Amino acid sequence: MVSFLHAADLHLGLRITRFSTDIAKRVREARFQALEKIRAAADEQRVDFVLIAGDLFDDHAVDGDIAKRAFDLLESFPAPAYVLSGNHDPLLAGAIWDRPPWNTPRPKKLCVLREATPVEIVPGVVLFPCPVFRKTSTADPTAWIATAPVDAGPIRIGIAHGSLKVRDDLPLDDHLIARHAAHECKLDYLALGHWHSRQHFAGPDGVERTAYPGVHEPLRFPGSSESRTGWVPYSHVRREEFLDSGHGEILHVRIDRPGAPPVLQALEVSHLVWREERYDLTSEEQMSRLIDQVAVNPLAERCLLRLRLEGILEAQAMLRLEQLRAVVDRYLFAELDDTKLRLQPGEDEIRQVAGDGVLRRVLEQLQQEASVAEPEVRRLAERTILLLYQIAHEVGA
């Protein structure tokens, strides 16, 4: 049996454009912290080796500090790590792979897969690497495997970076890989990189031998249609395949013997936690529960939170929004969207706080306008009601 980890698309050194400088630094650092978790997973699962199926770096010309740190970290893995180039970090002359320390002749644990030639990586397991030499190509990177001699003895594993041709609208120069390449090349498993969503594909026999592992550290909030970091793929068009799940994952793969179905297990390795939550609030009690829930999150310091509030609240409950804002400020990053949260002060509240004077008449007029105005005007009227209510409440306290 062989046991290994399959990761891809780590994009170390990616540029963060949509956060403040301090948060961007933490997001970039998280990609290395998640790589350390891959190392821990390799140790815990006692794997034979680790595969990184392309785009270890976001660019083939990343700075020297990032390059050395990645090299040293992979060299410290408990099992050999085999790294394939991708379309973001192709094997171009003078690129990162030709510079120290990546041009070290014989690293201890790390191997850059520079040639399309079979490699016996452990006894009884042959790896068929498909390195990427340019950002775009119309050639199938796995095509050479079908011409290689077939030995019935070892477990055969392919590793490639590109788009699996599962439909006809994929860019022709996006390193397209034949839909049933694993079957046609007589592979027991085809480890792919390039698409950021974890996907498994069955062959003609119904066995899942082809997979993308997803990303080890997410770039967006779950369910969002954009990369929150500002990352953009080098491929021609932005496609759903490059939107990760909002979770950091790799695959643990086990194959008992040649021809046996691979057993695939997703492992969570991300460092940062990306959460997008929506709440429909109708009472102060619900607001209190939300504040308590957000306040006790033990992962707040490494959590990016997008909180969307909807509903209609009486003014006393709306006043607690400031308390909620103070709580979410403890998070690494937080967006609190309350634009769909509407104010509905009760008659008793208005009568009690505003009294019978001018302030009460102003509040009642604003309340009337809020009930019939256009959305933007209504929103302004509601916020004005809250402000006046708050002033009156504090003066009377």
Q: What share of the chain is helix, strand, coil (3-state, %, to 5)?
A: 30, 25, 45
Which is higher by pLDDT, 225 or 172?
Answer: 172
Question: In this predicted model, what pLDDT tens digit does every residue of 231-262 receive, in sequence order?
Answer: 778 765 567 888 888 899 999 999 999 999 99
Whether pLDDT at 372 is above 60: yes
Q: What is the C-alpha to C-alpha distance for residues 251 and 291, in angstroms, rounded to an integer?
A: 36
Whether pLDDT at 383 is above 80: no
> Token digits for 51?
């595969």
The predicted model gives 109-137 an average pLDDT of 96
The predicted model gives 17-31 an average pLDDT of 91
Please give the mean pLDDT across all residues of the chain. 90
* pLDDT recorded at residue 282: 86
Q: What is the C-alpha to C-alpha distance for residues 112 and 397, in angstroms, rounded to an integer?
A: 70
Q: What is the C-alpha to C-alpha distance for residues 254 and 70, in angstroms, rounded to an integer?
A: 26
Give the highest mean pLDDT range of 202-211, 311-320, 364-373.
Answer: 202-211
Which is higher by pLDDT, 111 or 353?
Answer: 111
- Strands in 263-268's sheet, in edge-to-edge order, are 110-113, 81-84, 49-53, 2-7, 249-255, 263-268
> Token digits for 178?
């034949």
The type of residue at 382 is: E
Q: What is the CATH number of domain 2-268?
A: 3.60.21.10
DSSP tag of 262: P
The structural domains of the chain, with segments of one domain joined by +, span 2-268, 273-396
Whether pLDDT at 385 is above 90: no
Whether pLDDT at 302 is above 90: yes
* pLDDT recorded at residue 377: 79
Confidence of residue 354 (pLDDT cuts 50, 70, 90): low
Whether pLDDT at 331 is above 60: yes
* pLDDT recorded at residue 365: 78
Distance (Å) of CA 183 to CA 141, 186, 202, 257, 285 = 15, 5, 10, 16, 58
- Identify each DSSP E strand in the chain by its residue range: 2-7, 49-53, 81-84, 110-113, 119-122, 125-129, 155-161, 189-193, 199-202, 208-212, 249-255, 263-268, 273-281, 303-313, 333-343
* pLDDT recorded at residue 60: 85
Confidence of residue 279 (pLDDT cuts 50, 70, 90): very high
* pLDDT recorded at residue 351: 63
Q: What is the C-alpha to C-alpha distance for residues 74 and 67, in angstroms, rounded to an integer?
A: 11
Whether pLDDT at 389 is above 80: no
Question: In this predicted model, what pLDDT tens digit does every residue of 80-113 receive, in sequence order?
Answer: 999 999 999 999 998 999 999 999 888 999 999 9
Confidence of residue 346 (pLDDT cuts 50, 70, 90): low
* pLDDT recorded at residue 138: 95
Residue 42 CA to its chain's centroid (Å): 20
Whether pLDDT at 274 is above 90: yes
* pLDDT recorded at residue 30: 96
Which helix (H) or strand (E) segment holds residue 118: the answer is: none
Q: What is the C-alpha to C-alpha distance for residues 156 and 120, in angstroms, rounded to an integer?
A: 9
Angle at 88 between CA 142 and CA 135, to 5 degrees: 60
* pLDDT recorded at residue 241: 84
